[in-house]
Structure 1
Amino acid sequence: MAAWQTRVHALAAARNAVILAHNYQAPIIQDVAHHVGDSLALSRIAATSDAETIVFAGVHFMAETAKLLSPAKRVLIPDQAAGCSLADTINADQLRAWKAEHPGAVVVSYVNTTAEVKAETDVCCTSSNAVDVVRSIPEDREILFLPDQFLGAHVRRATGRTNIHVWLGECHVHADISPSDLVESVRANPAADLYVHPECGCTTSALWLAESGELPAARTHVLSTGGMLDHARRETSRQVLVATEIGMLHQLRKANPTTDFQPVNPKAACPFMKMTTPEKLEACLGDPSLTRGYEVDVPADVAARARQAVERMVAIGNPGSGE
């Protein structure tokens, strides 16, 4: 694959393009990218890059976010059909109807949403700053939190607020990392630490295990993908169980080769993330006159309103990790 990587880098240089790969991409895609990370961090890196073209190896809403933050740049995605089961749980019409049922409520949208949904949002949040964003809203204001029900439940627990209405959406991959998967993994590996993404259906069980003492609280960590990577760099435990999409293991193992990172559910692979193949990535970087089918754009009026929701989040404080 060395020859393929050389070709891809040569095409990127010729097109003045920067290649971004999400943590959940296949290892071969991660290894050829100029930058690997979560969607928001990657989009912010691209916005400061001198590159004229952004190639986003991820899912569609991520490429849209890159376009929001780099409106003058060309944004390409290797497969336009790479969607997101979480983002697809709510559209702009559904959000407008929900807002009509709760006039005056503040809409907080996770970054894992389409640009059209962000345009109907008051302020965005990431998995690492969702609690801070909600705490910045006056306690007497109702909140509509969307679209992830598990992240919403985590925010409710952390803030103690009872006036948060949570959309019943979920990432199918994270939802399938079940409480039983978690309990079985912890009991089979009693000396291991635990990293759990707040989108997971097993987050409550992880906290219960910590509260019961079966897994010491000091070894139980609810973290965004960026938080997992930061924690992995200073990890001293011999083994860590990881509850998130399995593509994340590649970056964790690179960050800390001395710790044994194992998935709570080894089948937790996102089919949309794996739609980016070496062949598609190379084709995406081909002759610019032939690659219009890879381009992602956002209507100017939608982009302007969506960008405001992201900027309000940044104004509250460090947005940290996107997912």
Structure 2
Amino acid sequence: MDRAFDVPHRLEADIRARAAQAPRPAPLSPERREEVIERIKRLLKERDAVLVAHYYVDEELQMLAEETGGHVADSLEMANFGSRHPATTLVVIGVRFMGETAKILNPEKRVLMPDLDASCSLDLGCPADEFTAFCDEHPDRTSVVYANTSAAVKARTDWVVTSSNGLQIVRHLKERGEKIIWAPDKHLGHYIQRETGADMLLWDGACIVHEEFRADALKKLIDENPNAEVLVHPESPEAVIELADVVGSTSRLIKAVRESDADAFIVATDFGIFHKMREAAPHKRFLVAPTGGEGGTCISCAHCPWMAMNGLENLADVLESGRNEILIDEDIRRKAYQSVKRMLDFSRDHGLVGGPAKCD
């Protein structure tokens, strides 16, 4: 077994401890909530700033982003929106790697985040030095990393992919006869390996949200709701994926809700996505896939603890102060930009999600 497979296991206890300790913003009274929202709207205009939020953050933040001319999307489209929008400051409501991706694609803009400690188990479980050493041990392989990684890991890899385009890019590499190193999500990597037949070495990382879904409990819920379609994000374990009617990225799952004739859905991804699903199909019913059952710990309970660190008050404070700016060493940023741009160019040329980014 390759040495790097031990890395996430050594980090797992620390990652889970950090997740359990992630602070949640204090609830606000209705009066205080309205006061803070008005402050944010004023500051956005004063600071020439725009909000870009992920599907997994709390509903009120998604609504505020769109109400003020911002955008709600997956991590790559968040960064692409920043490239298209004229605002000089981007406020990324999500987790750290999303802010870094926005900065990689928008170096001339100031990128702020409500809390720089909002991290991701996949990012934390793939340290750049360990990933670099693993790649160096396998120089004959093309490295492909998921977007849920640091700028330093993106700078070391050949390709960055998302859950929207990972299948197509790996299939393309296989057709060219390339062998692959995949990091960091083992479940997504295994799904892509199974679908493409590519020769892949898989890093042993996982998302603490998606890994909590349990196939045994999901089967029971399906039996109780036989007419519900099962929607699963491919970061989930294989046994959960095998029960799915639709497997796909956040955008793909929302599209499935919009286009399906079903009136009920069991959803195996972060339940923050329910806001957009309800917008897409307001008369349909949505059930969270179970995170309990044999082996379950419910450390996340289907909602990322780091996404939950984003709140109205720390959003207002960062706009006021200008703190929590994403800064990336320029050499790392340029190297990371090349691997991201390679993905964007492929997506453009093959008509996939995501278009060309501006070059610099």
Question: TM-score, structure 2 length as denominator?
Answer: 0.82
Unaligned runs of 5+ residues in structure 1 are: 211-219
Q: Which amino acid aligns with 2:169?
A: V
- Residue 120 of structure 2 corresponds to residue 70 of structure 1: no
- Residue 331 of structure 2 corresponds to residue 296 of structure 1: no
Which residue of the partner structure matches residue 133 of structure 1?
A: 169
- Residue 183 of structure 2 corresponds to residue 152 of structure 1: no
Summarize the alignment of residues 28-47 of structure 1 with structure 2, pairs less than 5 Å apart: 28-33=60-65, 34-47=70-83
Whole-angstrom CA distance in 2 between matches of 1:256 and 1:132: 29
Q: 1:23-62 deviations in whole A, cap 9, x for unaligned?
A: 1101111111121111100100011110000000100000
Q: Which amino acid aligns with 1:129?
A: N
SS at 1:233 equivalent = helix
Summarize the alignment of residues 278-317 of structure 1 with structure 2, pairs less than 5 Å apart: 278-286=312-320, 290-292=321-323, 294-317=324-347
Which residue of the partner structure matches residue 239 of structure 2?
A: 204
SS at 1:199 equivalent = coil
Return structure 1 stretches of 4+ with deviation > 4 angstroms. none
Equivalent of residue 302 in structure 2, options 268, 276, 281: 268
Which residue of the partner structure matches residue 222 of structure 1?
A: 247
Alpha carbons of structure 1 residues 187 and 206: separation in structure 2 relative to 1, 3 Å: farther
Which residue of the partner structure matches residue 112 of structure 1?
A: 148
Instruction: Name which of structure 1's ranges 7-16 and 143-152 shifts more when overlaid on structure 2.
Output: 7-16
SS at 1:136 equivalent = helix
Whole-angstrom CA distance in 2 between matches of 1:74 and 1:265: 40
- Residue 127 of structure 2 corresponds to residue 91 of structure 1: yes
The CA deviation at 1:198 is: 0.2
- Say what the alpha-carbon RMSD is for the aligned residues: 1.5
Q: 1:100-142 deviations in whole A, cap 9, x for unaligned?
A: 2211210001011000000001011110111111112145322
Q: Which amino acid aligns with 1:192?
A: A
Alpha carbons of structure 1 residues 138 and 177: separation in structure 2 relative to 1, 3 Å: closer
Unaligned runs of 5+ residues in structure 2 are: 1-32, 292-300, 355-360
Instruction: Name which of structure 1's ranges 181-190 and 115-124 shifts more when overlaid on structure 2.
Output: 181-190
Aligned length: 305
The CA deviation at 1:281 is: 0.6
SS at 1:195 equivalent = strand
Whole-angstrom CA distance in 2 between matches of 1:153 and 1:244: 17
The CA deviation at 1:257 is: 0.3
Q: Which amino acid aligns with 2:288?
A: P
Whole-angstrom CA distance in 2 between matches of 1:16 and 1:184: 50
The CA deviation at 1:221 is: 0.0
Which residue of the partner structure matches residue 271 of structure 2?
A: 246
Contact 1:192 1:237 in 2 (8 A): yes
Q: Which amino acid aligns with 1:145?
A: W
Contact 1:55 1:76 in 2 (8 A): yes
The CA deviation at 1:3 is: 4.2
Alpha carbons of structure 1 residues 96 and 206: separation in structure 2 relative to 1, 3 Å: closer
Q: 1:161-195 deviations in whole A, cap 9, x for unaligned?
A: 2x211100000111001222322221221110011
Question: TM-score, structure 1 length as denominator?
Answer: 0.91
The CA deviation at 1:75 is: 0.2
Percent identity over the alignment is 37
Whole-angstrom CA distance in 2 between matches of 1:118 and 1:5: 35
SS at 1:268 equivalent = coil
Which residue of the partner structure matches residue 281 of structure 2?
A: 256
Instruction: Name which of structure 1's ranges 311-320 and 71-80 shifts more when overlaid on structure 2.
Output: 311-320
